[in-house]
A and B are shown apart, each in its own frame.
Chain A
Amino acid sequence: MTQYDIAVIGGGNAALCAAMTAAESGAKVLILETAPKAYRGGNSRHTRNFRCMHTGPLGPLVETYSEDEYFEDLLKVTKGKTNETLARLAIRTSEACLPWMQDHGVRFQPSLSGTLSLGRTNAFFMGGGKSLVNAYYRTADKLGVDVLYEAAVTHLELSENAVQWVDYTHEGKSHRITPKAVVVASGGFQADTDWLTRAWGPAAQNFLIRGTPYNRGIVLADLLEQGVSQVGDADQCHAVAIDGRAPKYDGGIVTRLDCVPFSIVVNKNAERFYDEGEDVWPKRYAIWGRLVAAQPDQVGHVVIDSKSIDLFMPSVFPPLKADTLEELAALMDIDGAKLKDTVETFNAACGDTSDFHPTELDGVATSGLSPAKTNWARPITDPPFYGYSLRTGVTFTYLGLKVDENAQCSTDTGPIKNLWAAGETMAGSILGQGYLAGYGMTIGTVFGRIAGREAAAYAN
């Protein structure tokens, strides 16, 4: 068997960036990916863009996006829970990443029509994250990187602040290899419902996992048990409200629902619980995951009427549809009289709707209602009525490995000589909470490349 200089654990964006970088420095690299080939690429296969700083037009990106503006955008969502040194390092390096990505086969989309106007801050992958992952596997192959699919890493043996060996299973057998250096890029632990349940309580049983079922945090847990420094809280995760009919895993982007601002959302008792019109949807997308998680049975029901059905992106599953609110309530399995009552109370609190504007904060608000709806508050009166059920969809978890500027892991007694980490599995080192669209791929690309560089420098 080939003696590898570096083992990279994981097969997503961060792993591939590390593997390509290390191979380009002359190291012999093996990627151990637990998923079969059809599902390779973890959560990265579900992504669509990369947030990138730029001091002038760059690739598909227009105008400029400065380091400070990027950093401030980040601070807003993390409410200050940010490691400034590492965050700025990621931001600054992102500019050089974009041409590097192109050189390694990624194709960007010139400009985007239908979706959010992120043409200045985020570069979109043509074909989405799976096409990025495919391109990277092709490039890695050309660079001589070996890839083993269905290779589940079970244990890294740590002693004297060095990884001594790596155990993995493949085709039903256990294997042990002794690479000189190891890069961990195996994501978070969100697909392990038991772990989520320990952190969140029983509510987590009802969570859906938006991405890969393979990120179960096995390597993360193994390293934390051996005293590798950890960062972040187990109950911190990025979660959004998605269509309740989504599959348990891997539903990805299509399960999102953009209709909340034009709706009222009730819980299983047919009561409203939060201001649906607080802000434009992209900015409120993420908080609804937690809001729904806090409701009984972790479910929310969106109610809209025919006035609003064309105002948002089409949903992957058709909405529930009924001519009366009672019938809609029956489809949602909630109390019809109660729902009717909630809607009538809401309707009575609506005022002048002549300023209604679907894409701007229009100030069309309810009065004397608690909780208020502060924008887009139009009475729900015109049948047919439509509904969706909402569930909490977990994107990723934050608890992870603590790294330094070189992406190197450590224990209480100092750095681990030959262990680096990149991507989701160390994202908590940068963000304590909150999330900025496109920053996950930035972290993975920046720290993947750093980890690859450092590991190769050590191994050579």
Chain B
Amino acid sequence: MQTDLVQEARRQAEICNACRYCEGYCSVFPALHANRAFTDGDIAQLANLCHNCRGCYYACQYTAPHEFDLNLPAALAEVRRDSWESYAWPQPMARRFHTHGAAIVTALVVGFALLFAAIKMIGSAGGEGFYAALSHNAMVAIFAPAFLLPLASLGIGLRRYWRDVGGIGIRMSHLTKAFGRAAKMKDLAAGHGDGCNFEDEDRFSQGRRHVHQAIMYGFLLCFASTSTATVMHYVFDMPAPYPLLSLPKLLGVVGGIVLTLGCIGMIMLKRKSDPTLGDAKAWGGDMAFVALLGFVGFSGLALYALGASTAMPVLLAIHLGAVLTFFLLTPFTKMAHGFYRLAALIRDAQRVS
């Protein structure tokens, strides 16, 4: 990890450790107070426990112009992004997207092109519905590796993270606790339950928690839609297309709507928030990522709506191109945060137990 970023976060953590006023806001502070000195791994762990609610910034009596110049949300955000980049594998990809929104857009265009080419060159082999444009086998051949390779890459990154933060063997109790906290996004509510300080300085609001929940659950519903379709295809021999009142479609439509709205909401909130309290360098990359995610949801909905029209093959290429880009970039974009955050919560559960 970049020593200057880690050192700056350490400097601030030491001030917080002598102060402790923010103890009640989130899980960062109890974890912080458990140490007297902070290794690089400790700082990485604190950074991944922080979700940038900014409560501790607006409450801090030591923010600039005070000479202590506290801005813990920004310091931790920078270390956090740097930790994902440092642990990522393969390294040549690590630093290309978080801070480069344009690179994400370029990747998206490449994704479109690949899918257009695939449709043109491989074609349907006589399938129905979407498979009329691109055969099922071709889709599997493209998306199985596009799904599994990033997971393997993330696995490698997470192992490196786990080693650095001193993680130990994981028990069921650690997992239940961590997943429980993630499901409710308890920390995003802040210790008093009134939410983050995000879109309007020190005003607490649930806005960010709600849009984030929409994105997460929308995404999970879409994912569940694809998963049930896969099961129906292989286990029950019920290939697509599915009618509207089928599990994949219901999950997918609801998920797509929730995901799209969540992403629009997040972009609006982010635009109102103060970029200097986050990782300012990653602002563009994060925005492009949220837009990509929202576009995945939206293009999926468009495909559902116009699947029977002549626009279908074009829409299919666009949607699948977006999905492909999204999958492949997962380890190198903001999407990685979900995995690291979960790891940090599991590690934190180990600390407390």
Which listed residue (A127, A135, A138, A315) contacts B21, Cβ 8 A? A127
Is A48 touching B18 in the complex (CB atoms < 8 A)? no
Q: Determine the chain B residues whose CB is within 8 A of the CB of A112 once the complex forms.
A: 23
Q: How many angstroms from the CA of A125 to the CA of B21 in the assembled complex? A: 8
- B112 close to chain A: CB less than 8 A: no
Q: Of residues 250 to 265 in A, which have CB atoms within 8 Å of B's CB atoms?
A: 250, 252-254, 256
Tell me whether A316 and B24 are in contact in the complex, defined as CB-CB below 8 angstroms, given that A129-B61, A131-B59 are known contacts.
no
**In angstroms, how far is the closest chain A Cβ from the Cβ of B304?**
44
- A130 close to chain B: CB less than 8 A: yes
Is A107 touching B17 in the complex (CB atoms < 8 A)? no
When C-beta atoms are compared, the residue in chain B nearest to A109 turns out to be B24
Residue with the greatest number of chain B CB neighbours at <10 A, chosen from A45, A310, A314: A314
**In angstroms, how far is the closest chain A Cβ from the Cβ of B134?**
54
For chain A, the count of residues having a C-beta within 8 Å of the partner chain is 35
- A46 close to chain B: CB less than 8 A: yes
Beyond A114-B20, A114-B33, A126-B192, 16 extra complex contacts between A and B, CB < 8 Å: A39-B65, A107-B192, A113-B30, A126-B24, A127-B21, A127-B25, A127-B58, A128-B61, A130-B61, A134-B58, A135-B202, A247-B67, A250-B66, A253-B21, A254-B62, A316-B14
Q: How many angstroms from the CA of A48 to the CA of B58 in the assembled complex? A: 15
Is B24 touching A127 in the complex (CB atoms < 8 A)? yes
Q: Determine the chain B residues whose CB is within 8 A of the CB of A113 once the complex forms.
A: 23, 30, 33
Q: Binding site of A, secondary structure by majority: helix, strand, loop or mixed?
A: loop
Tell me whether A115 and B59 are in contact in the complex, defined as CB-CB below 8 angstroms, given that A314-B14, A314-B36 are known contacts.
no
- A1 close to chain B: CB less than 8 A: no
Q: Determine the chain A residues whose CB is within 8 A of the CB of B63 once the complex forms.
A: 38
19 contacts between A and B (CB under 8 A): A38-B63, A39-B65, A107-B194, A125-B21, A126-B191, A127-B24, A127-B55, A127-B59, A128-B19, A130-B58, A130-B60, A131-B58, A135-B202, A250-B61, A252-B62, A254-B15, A254-B62, A314-B14, A314-B36
- B22 close to chain A: CB less than 8 A: yes
Which listed residue (A110, A128, A129) contacts B22, Cβ 8 A? A128
Q: How many angstroms from the CA of A256 to the CA of B18 in the assembled complex? A: 8
Q: How many angstroms from the CA of A107 to the CA of B191 in the assembled complex? A: 9
Q: Of residues 94 to 135 in A, which have CB atoms within 8 Å of B's CB atoms?
A: 107, 109-110, 112-115, 124-131, 134-135
When C-beta atoms are compared, the residue in chain A nearest to B197 turns out to be A134
Q: Of residues 3 to 24 in B, which have CB atoms within 8 Å of A's CB atoms?
A: 14-15, 17-24
Is B59 touching A134 in the complex (CB atoms < 8 A)? yes
Residues of B within 8 A of A (CB): 14-15, 17-25, 30, 33, 36, 55-56, 58-68, 191-192, 194, 202-203
Is A127 touching B22 in the complex (CB atoms < 8 A)? yes
Q: Determine the chain A residues whose CB is within 8 A of the CB of B68 once the complex forms.
A: 254
Q: Determine the chain B residues whose CB is within 8 A of the CB of A125 once the complex forms.
A: 21
Tell me whether A130 and B20 are in contact in the complex, defined as CB-CB below 8 angstroms, given that A107-B194, A138-B203, A314-B14 are known contacts.
no
Is B202 touching A138 in the complex (CB atoms < 8 A)? yes
Q: How many angstroms from the CA of A110 to the CA of B30 in the assembled complex? A: 14
- A313 close to chain B: CB less than 8 A: yes
Q: How many angstroms from the CA of A268 to the CA of B25 in the assembled complex? A: 42
Q: How many angstroms from the CA of A113 to the CA of B30 in the assembled complex? A: 9
Q: Of residues 123 to 160 in A, which have CB atoms within 8 Å of B's CB atoms?
A: 124-131, 134-135, 138
Is A110 touching B61 in the complex (CB atoms < 8 A)? no
When C-beta atoms are compared, the residue in chain A nearest to B58 turns out to be A134
**In angstroms, how far is the closest chain B Cβ from the Cβ of A112?**
7
Is A315 touching B18 in the complex (CB atoms < 8 A)? yes
Is A109 touching B23 in the complex (CB atoms < 8 A)? yes
Which listed residue (A38, A107, A131, A314) contacts B18, Cβ 8 A? A314
Which listed residue (B15, B23, B61, B194) contacts A316, Cβ 8 A? B15
Is B17 touching A48 in the complex (CB atoms < 8 A)? no
Tell me whether A314 and B59 are in contact in the complex, defined as CB-CB below 8 angstroms, given that A107-B194, A138-B202 are known contacts.
no
When C-beta atoms are compared, the residue in chain A nearest to B200 turns out to be A138
Q: Of residues 308 to 340 in A, which have CB atoms within 8 Å of B's CB atoms?
A: 310, 313-316, 318
Q: Determine the chain A residues whose CB is within 8 A of the CB of B64 once the complex forms.
A: 38
When C-beta atoms are compared, the residue in chain B nearest to A131 turns out to be B59
Q: Determine the chain A residues whose CB is within 8 A of the CB of B25 once the complex forms.
A: 126-127
Q: How many angstroms from the CA of A315 to the CA of B18 in the assembled complex? A: 6
Q: How many angstroms from the CA of A3 to the CA of B60 in the assembled complex? A: 35
Residue with the greatest number of chain A CB neighbours at <10 A, chosen from B20, B55, B192: B20
Which listed residue (B17, B65, B202) contacts A38, Cβ 8 A? B65
Q: How many angstroms from the CA of A28 to the CA of B24 in the assembled complex? A: 36
When C-beta atoms are compared, the residue in chain A nearest to B64 turns out to be A38
Q: Determine the chain B residues whose CB is within 8 A of the CB of A129 once the complex forms.
A: 21, 61
Tell me whether A252 and B61 are in contact in the complex, defined as CB-CB below 8 angstroms, given that A126-B192, A127-B25 are known contacts.
yes
Q: Determine the chain B residues whose CB is within 8 A of the CB of A313 once the complex forms.
A: 18
Q: How many angstroms from the CA of A115 to the CA of B64 in the assembled complex? A: 26
Q: How many angstroms from the CA of A345 to the CA of B203 in the assembled complex? A: 58
**In angstroms, how far is the closest chain B Cβ from the Cβ of A257?**
9
Q: How many angstroms from the CA of A124 to the CA of B23 in the assembled complex? A: 10
Tell me whether A316 and B65 are in contact in the complex, defined as CB-CB below 8 angstroms, given that A107-B192, A127-B56, A131-B59 are known contacts.
no
Q: Determine the chain A residues whose CB is within 8 A of the CB of B203 once the complex forms.
A: 138
Q: Determine the chain B residues whose CB is within 8 A of the CB of A315 once the complex forms.
A: 18
Q: How many angstroms from the CA of A129 to the CA of B56 in the assembled complex? A: 12
**In angstroms, how far is the closest chain A Cβ from the Cβ of B228?**
42
**In angstroms, how far is the closest chain A Cβ from the Cβ of B245?**
47
**In angstroms, how far is the closest chain A Cβ from the Cβ of B255?**
35
Q: How many angstroms from the CA of A256 to the CA of B21 in the assembled complex? A: 14
Q: How many angstroms from the CA of A124 to the CA of B67 in the assembled complex? A: 26
Q: How many angstroms from the CA of A113 to the CA of B22 in the assembled complex? A: 12
Q: How many angstroms from the CA of A109 to the CA of B23 in the assembled complex? A: 8
Q: How many angstroms from the CA of A112 to the CA of B29 in the assembled complex? A: 12
Q: How many angstroms from the CA of A126 to the CA of B192 in the assembled complex? A: 8
Is A314 touching B192 in the complex (CB atoms < 8 A)? no
Residue with the greatest number of chain B CB neighbours at <10 A, chosen from A129, A131, A315, A316: A131
**In angstroms, how far is the closest chain A Cβ from the Cβ of B203?**
7
Q: Determine the chain A residues whose CB is within 8 A of the CB of B33 once the complex forms.
A: 113-114
**In angstroms, how far is the closest chain B Cβ from the Cβ of A126?**
4
Is B21 touching A128 in the complex (CB atoms < 8 A)? yes
Q: How many angstroms from the CA of A112 to the CA of B191 in the assembled complex? A: 12
**In angstroms, how far is the closest chain B Cβ from the Cβ of A34?**
16
**In angstroms, how far is the closest chain A Cβ from the Cβ of B116?**
53
When C-beta atoms are compared, the residue in chain B nearest to A106 turns out to be B192
When C-beta atoms are compared, the residue in chain B nearest to A257 turns out to be B18
Question: Per-residue 0/1 for A26-51: is the Cβ within 8 Å of any B Cβ (1 yes, 0 no)?
Answer: 00000000000011000001101000
